[in-house]
Every structure is written in C-alpha cells, then in structure tokens.
Structure 1
Amino acid sequence: MRKQPHVLVIPYPAQGHVPPLLKLATKIAENGIEVTFVNTDLIAAKVMAAMPEESEGWSLIKFVSISDGIGQEEDRTDFYKTTNTMLRVMPGNLKDLIEKINQSSDNEQITCVIADILVVWAIELAQKMGIPIAAFVPYGPATLALSFHIKKLTEAGTLDMNGNATSDGLISISEESLPWKANELAWSFPFNKKTQKVLFGALCAVDQIVKISNWVLSNSFYELDSSSCDLVPSILPIGPLLASNNSRHLAGSFRPEDSTCLSWLDKQPIGSVIYVALGSTGTLNQQQFDELAIGLESLGQPFLWVVRSDLMTGLVARFPDGFEQRLGEKVLAHSSVACFISHCGWNSTLEGLSMGVPFLCWPYFVDQNQNKNYICEGWKIGLELIRDENGIVTRHEIQTKVTKLLSDEGIKGKALKLKDMARRSLVEGGSSFRNLERFIVEMTSS
C-alpha cells in the first residue's frame, strides 16, 4: 500500500523567504496533500501574530516550530554568530521532528521535504534520511545561475576563494544572460567580510544542492528570464508566488498588514499614487529619510509610504516638522499605483511586474542590485535612483526620476506586457501552471 503524501516545508527564517514558501504550501495543500510547515519558534510567533484569524489557510496546513538555539536575550543582529548557532542546533531538532512524525503513524510519514535552497543542512538531512527533496529558490533565476556556476568561475580565476572578483570587468556566465558587475555579486558585503563569508558559503553549495535534489522549484516564470533558467538543470519555474488578498492564502508576513488604506485609495485616480516600500531590512539615516520625505511631498501627487518602526538607523522614524499631518495614512499597494519606489527584493520585483507597475530602483545588497539591472537594462520597466557622492538619494533625484518615469510611455507599455506574460504563465496551460502540476504529480507518485 502506497503511503499518503505528506510534505514537510522548511523556509529560511527571514521575512523575504517565508511568504513565497507559504504560498506554495497552500497551493500544494489545495490539492489534498498533507502539509506541515516548519518555522523557528521566533518566526512562528511573528507569523501567527500577523495572520488574520479568519484565514481558511489555518485548516489546510499544520504549523510546527523548532528552536534555533538562540536565546531571547541574545543579539540576533550578528548574522555570522546566529548562522553558526543555527547550523549547530537546528539539524538535530529537525531530525527529531521528522522521526517523531514518522513514528506517530504509518499514514503520516514524511514523503517529501521542500526546503529553501539556503537551508543547506535541511536538504542534506533529507538526503541522509532517504526522503525525496525539492529545493525551493526564493530569489531570481539569474542569482541561481550565478551561484550554480561559482565553482567554474573560481576554477577560471574569475573569482578568488572568498568570492571576490579578480578584476573590475563584467562577469558573464553566458552570452544570452545579463552580466554581473564585479561589485554587485549576490554575496558581496565589502564592509562585512564575515557576512560575505557565510553567504558565499551557502551559495557555493548550490551546485551540489541542485545535483542531490529531485526537483528545483524557482519562484519565477520561464519567459521572464529563459536564458538564466536554461543554465540550471532540472529547474522548474512555478511562479510568481505572490502574496494574495484572499484570506485563504496565508501571507506569511512578520508584521500585521494595515488594510485601513483601501477607502483612501479608492478615492485616488487610477495610476496616480506613488508607492514606496524599501523592504524589511534596509535602513535610512535621518538625512536620507528627510530627503525622501521632502522629495515625495514636492511632487504634489498622492503617495503611499510603508514606514517600518525600524526603518531608521538606531532611531524611531521622525518626519520633518509638520510632515505627518500632511502625510495622512500610511498604506499598502492598490490598483491606483502609478509607480513603485522599491529596494528590488525578489518578492517585490515579482509583485511589481505582475501588477504592471513601473519601478524606481533603490537597491541595498545581495541580489537587489542585479534585480535592478534586469528591471532597468534587461526588461526596461524602470529607472535607477542614483546616490550622490555622499551616498544620498537627493530630493532633486527623486523629483526628476519620478517625473521622467511617469511620462515614459515606453516603460509603461513594457511593464504591461510583462504583467500579461506573468498572468499567462499561471493560468491553465501556462508554463508555471504546467510545471507545478508536473511537480505535484511526480512528488505524489514517487
């Protein structure tokens, strides 16, 4: 008698990684497959606190958590230290969880592990336990293709053993794909070599992870970057996996979402609102905060600015004098959005292009710079905000680029074409629809 399929899903414990995997888990559960979603204790508490109570997704997926070994009083901002602690503690905790599940019932044994490709230890554990593996890629195909080719680039002398480019020229892994700038590699942290070492180590493992995984699931769609997809064997693009307003699809956000904006947005003309969201980790100093605030205000258009409580470096966000009264409500995305001032994280990039919204790009680190290059040079659906000699995006730069973007019909047209391309990939018969269907069939019959 064949076992009933039971999928264990393990995201990397960070804001940009949990939501797309939770969306995928929901899609799998909707096919009648049992799904257990594993977070760390801390992340689980954040996700649960932010979820709407009425969400139907609660009954579809079983949520469990394991300790990451980091005490409540310990500093979690030290990426190097926290990563090493997790590597020491979490494999054993996950193994105990899987064994506990497998021993509870013959019908509930884990038949597949879907793990974020950065959670290398979970994928290696599944291999040791003889469980089929799906590696999930939460970033774009270009970053996956680069990571997959690190060994070749190192052997060719293009990269040194620490992931640094050996020259200032462009780094190309194929004639068809967009080249990488030497100072914009996905693992580059020039001012924090410890963080670079950890991230480079995780990405170095990608080629091995791809080889030992039964499936490589990419949160993208083939038509968006076919040349990068073609560089990675066995890749199955199944995206875009977007946050949905449907309460059934659990968002996976670490912060409660503010939906009070909808009545305000309904009063704004379609395509009139400037939407500003700079991600879950990037920070601004007071000077940069002021420049952005005044630059937006001076445009004389409605705008929505997502201001996290920890957006400011070491400070509580403080608006220029009198600004809060002029601002009104801080709100989220809506169909009235005219353009998107974004940090170009992969989730935000997919959401923006799936909505047909042109971008103003404000990247910080990791894959965001290359996503910006694709947005501006590859797909031509946005413009880059350039920092001055002091590293500040000035109010004048914001005014100039917003005005230029909103008058560029070519960019708007290309953005709408990508929106249609993304939509077609997801509907029945589309490339991502077929790939997800193929994965579910193969996974349930293996």
Structure 2
Amino acid sequence: MKKLFTLFCLSLFTLSFAQPNTEVFLFDLNTEKGVFELSNFKNISNNEGYDNQPSFLNNHTILYAGTRKGQTDIVKYNTKYDSSIYVNHTEGSEYSPLKIPGEKAASAIRLEKDGKQALYKYNLRNGESELLIEDIIIGYHVWHNEKILISSVLEDSKLALYSTNLEQKKNYKFHSNIGRSLHKIPNTDLVSFINKEDDSVWKIHSVNPTTGDTKAIVATLPKAEDMCWLPNGTILVGHENKLYTFTPNKSVDWVEVATLDTYNITNITRVSVSPDGKKLAVVGELGKTKIIEESSNKPLEPKLENIAWIAGNWKGEAFGGQTEENWSQPSGGSMMATFKLIKDGKISFYEIEIIREIENTLILQLKHFNSELKGWESKDDTVDFPLKEITKNKVVFEGMTFERISDKEMNVYVDMHKKDGTVEVIKFNYLKD
C-alpha cells in the first residue's frame, strides 16, 4: 500500500510541471572579459503546452521534453539548422533527457499512463529504449560518468539524494531532503545539489559521488533552485525573470547579470549552458513576444519570391581562402548562382547552382568544376538538395541552409560527408557588396 501511495504522489509531483505553458528559449552567450551578454534570442520550442528541461547534447544540439498530442516526448533541436525532431515514440511521457556519457544515447524519466515511473535509455538514432533503473523512483538525475548516476529520488513525498553504481547495480543514499537541480561541477569530480534541510535557507552543496562527502558552497537566493554551472566554474541561477551569478571563492554575494523583461520571459524554471559556454537555454513563460517569434518562424509557400533576398554578390571566407557567390534575381522559374573558392591566389574550384520551382516545391541543384572547368560530377549528374522549409529569414534544404542575418549579411550551412560516415557542418558567413 505504501509503494502504491508513493507512486501516486510521484505522478502528481511530475505532472504538476505540465500545467504551465512553458517555452524553451535560446540565446548566444558572451562571458569574455567579465561581461555577461545575451544576444540572438530565439524561441526554439514555440509550442502550446509544456516544453522544459533542456540539456545540451553538444555545442549545437539541445535535448528537451516537449509536448505533442497530450504527452511529452524527447525533442532534439539543432541550433545550426533551427530544426527539431522527436526522438522517441512511446505511449508514456518522457522528462529530463540527458546525454549518456560515451554513448549515442540519452537517458530520460518515463512516466507511464498507469503511473509507473522509471529511468530509461533511448537510442538517439532510432528512438529504441531500454530500462535502466526501476528499483528507485527517480525524479531528476545527472551522470557523473558512464558507471555512476546521481539522482533525486522520491521518498516520503520529498526528494532524497542517491548515487547508483550501474555495474554493481547498487544504490547508495546520501541525503534526505534536496531539490531537483543536479549538476556536475566543472573541473572537479563533484556534483552539486540543493540542500533543503533548513526550509528557511536553501544551500547549494557539493557531493563526492563515490564517498558521499558533502560540503556547503553558498546559500541560494530565496526559494531559487534553477541553476547550472558555466564552464569557468561560475554558478548561474534563474529567479523570476532575472539571471544571477556567483563564483565560489571569489564572489561575496549573488550578482544580477541580466533581466529578461526585454523578451517578456517570466517564471524561469530551468537554465542550461552549452559545453563551450557560448549558448544559453532558458525555460520560462512567455508574454507578448511570442507573437513576434511566431511571425518570424511561420512557414512560407515554396515560391522563389519568398527567397529573393538571397540574390546579390556575396563574399566571405571558408576552407582557408576567399569565397564569392553571385545569385541572380528570380526569373523564368529559377535563380542561378556561380561560386568560386580562391586559395593562395589560385582558384580551387567552381560551382554552378540553381534553385528552381518544380511540382509545387523548390529544389537546389549544383555541379562542381575544377580550376580548368573540368566537371567533378558525370555529364548528367547533379548534387540535389530538396526543400524542407521556408520562413521569413531562412531557407532550409536537405543538406544546405541559407539564413538571413540582415539585408547585407547571411550565413550558409552545408553538410560535408566524410569518409568515416560522419557529417561536418561547414558555415559560410557572407557579406553583400
């Protein structure tokens, strides 16, 4: 009976987060030379319902729990292409997705429709899942390494701190009353957690995942527990609509570094920073700014007139040389471009590119030529990029994306397939004459 009651409480505990209409926002972050600067605001979830718990898979990919068809599933978002896909297709709901160290997989909490909750592993390629831990009811977790998991476990309607050794299949309890926020502390073998033993003063503590030794770091802001660590060892906390920092052994008190009033973001519930510290994901509730974001991300018809901003003479640098790309205005149902790469004062290669209207969509096609205009592809072959989506400032083909930064600047992202089967995304930054 006690176990059934515990499961029931945990279901309520988890599902209570589904009530707010939260969004996942992304910023570029600059913390060089002591500054804290946010730019390039974007609503990456842009979805009715609960979107929360972002974590960075790498510097360019974010995992988060996103709502669809009345449940939450794992979403994988690519920052370069501004594109999202759902990873899994289970009947239950998934929460708190995190990369598993050393694997092309993520772990997440699955809440089944019957109330059962357990930690699962998800293959990021095909979404297949397998049970990882079920003997303790995990609400939140963080990986210390491939073998040790630190988690917040529901016990007696509160969260307890546990360490699990997956090789030994043993769980070790370290603390009785903690918060949901668990994070690896940069450049250490420690993990941080929120100690809530004294309800009047919550404190950020460190814990050694193998010995259980804990140490106080700093008291939180009043009732604030949504935090992460910057790569330089500074703590970042979101509280209401503001961001604060504290650097252990340096700071005297919390310092307000940003207010999100400008973006109409309130009630911050998560913050997460990319491994290189250059991107910040924030979860909160959105005001009227949502109207602006939806307008800029609204899909447009696959018509050349909607991508006419690509036309012009563009110059930039890539592959260690200078690039030049000349796009014509739309005419005769197509746009045409010539491309060349100059390296060490010599032509490396040329391209001829076209974007044409075909069967109510667009397709980008190109051919490569060497410095003597000898074709790389055979006579009738082209390299084709079917259209995926057009928005106000972006044209996304399968393998190539054009992004308008301003009337005089754009980025082009190209997938480069390597011999080992991996794909590298090359960015071309262009300025228009």
TM range (shorter): under 0.3
* Structure with greater strand share of residues: 2
The alignment's TM-score, normalised by the length of structure 2, stands at 0.24
Higher Rg of the two aligned structures: 2
Higher relative contact order (CA 8 A, sep 6+): 1
TM-score, length basis structure 1: 0.23
